[in-house]
Structure 1
Amino acid sequence: MTPEEQPELEDVEEISETEEVEEAIEEEVEAEEEVTEVPTEAPPEEEEEIVDERIYTVPLRKAYWTGSRLRRAKRAVRILREFVEKHMKPEEIHIQPEVNEKIWSRGIQKPPRRIRIRATKNSENLVRVYLAEG
């Protein structure tokens, strides 16, 4: 081989490597586009007839008193459920994820001492618990 031919071979190798890299990048971009094309829509909630709506400040300090501190957040959710059961007398209770996340926001050992909620009761005696605004 002459020295002139050798750089040409290197150029060919570099070109083929860059083409492979570009193809791989294009495939990744196409894969990302496919993923982003799928909309994540929540199913529309059915309009329910709300019979009763109340706002409560639920004291969760009992969660700090009893037992292990490694169960406080779980206990706080149970206390919230019992409070709503006592005051609204439902057949079924649905605690919204935002309320659960608020209780667990500081970890299992330190739930909030109190939480403000909005409880709605529909005609089927189902109570939904939301975070109160404000």
Structure 2
Amino acid sequence: MERVYVIPLRDAKTAPRTKRSPKATRVVREFIQKHMKSDDVKMDSSVNEKIWERGIQKIPPKIKVKATKDEDGSVLVTLVQ
């Protein structure tokens, strides 16, 4: 199963400025766990690089990702170009 999601990162804006990128990474992981119904989520490095692109304080407002669920239940999250 393969789906494309636009994940809003506004929840990570409530975190202190020096902890926003790690919080945004957790928000993406929790969103995918909820919507793909899987606990095994692996994020591609491109997603992490997009979140950290402008540093720890200035995260993007939203991110567009493609989630692919394997037959064993694991989910791979990649950035949509």
Same fold (TM over 0.5): yes
Matched, 1:127 2:75: yes
Matched AA of 1:116: K
Percentage of matched positions with identical amino acids: 46
Please state how far the C-alpha of 1:62 moved relative to its aligned partner: 1.1
**Bigger-Rg structure (1/2):** 1
Any idea what the Cα deviations from partners look like across 1:43-98, whole Å, max 9, x if unmatched?
Answer: xxxxxxxxx00000000011112x31100000000000000000001130000001
Q: Larger % of strand: which?
A: 2
Q: Which runs of 5+ in 1 are unaligned?
A: 1-51
TM-score by length of 1: 0.59
Two-structure CA RMSD over aligned residues (Å): 0.8
Q: Which runs of 5+ in 2 are unaligned?
A: none
* Aligned pair partner of 2:38 in 73, 85, 90: 90
SS of corresponding position for 1:54? strand
Aligned residues: 81
TM-score by length of 2: 0.96
Q: Larger % of helix: which?
A: 1
Q: Which has the higher contact order (CA 8 A, sep 6+)?
A: 2
* Aligned pair partner of 2:19 in 60, 66, 71: 71
Matched, 1:109 2:57: yes
